[in-house]
Amino acid sequence: MEAGQTGVGRQRVNGSTASAIVMHRIGRVLQRNRQMITLSLQACAHCALCAESCFKYVHSGRDPRFSPSYKAINTIGKIFRKKGRLSESEYQAVSSLAWESCALCMRCYCPVGISIPSLIACARSVCRERGIFPR
């Protein structure tokens, strides 16, 4: 959203400007996936058994920040808890997790059966609505 546009309602959200339309669209994305996100995050037992199935986790020397549950909780978990109202730097952190730490190869193994790629994909949609795209 350009600064010169008129007729677009703006609101200051956590120190960064995001137009009301963008926040509304983010809200719609979150509302549409609300049940899936809440059920998945509630069912997550925080067991970290998904880590070994992620090749990026293995390839990075077993850095715990690459485990799929960490990625899901710290992207869509954060977005959902704050209802999409994150600061610019928080969105940058979320987008770097969602795009650089995850290839969306859909091979993560969750013993409980949570679909982690769906959560990452949802986080990516929210970041795209916000105007943040992979470099």
Q: How far apart are CA 90 and CA 24, in angstroms?
A: 19
Helix, strand, or coil (residue 62): coil
- Residue 31 tokens, joined: 């509302």
Q: How far is the CB of 62 from other proteins (least distance, A)?
A: 7
Residue 115 CB, nearest distance to other proteins (Å)? 5
By CB under 8 A, tell whether 133 contacts other proteins.
Answer: no
> Between residues 13 and 73, which has the closer beta carbon with respect to other proteins?
73
Does position 83 interact with other proteins (CB under 8 A)? The reply is no
Nearer to other proteins, 20 or 106 (CB): 106
Burial class (CB in 10 A: 0-12, 13-18, 19+), 98: buried
Rounded Cα gap, residues 80 and 52, in angstroms:
26
Cβ closest to other proteins, residue 17 vs residue 31: 31
- In 10 A of CB 134, how many CB atoms? 11
Cβ(85)–Cβ(79) below 8 Å? no
Interface with other proteins (CB under 8 A), residue from 112, 131, 133, 134: 112
25-44 residues near other proteins, rule: CB under 8 A = 31-36, 39, 42-44
Task: List contacts with other proteins (CB under 8 A).
Answer: 31-36, 39, 42-49, 51-59, 62, 64-65, 67, 69-70, 73, 103, 105-107, 109, 111-115, 118
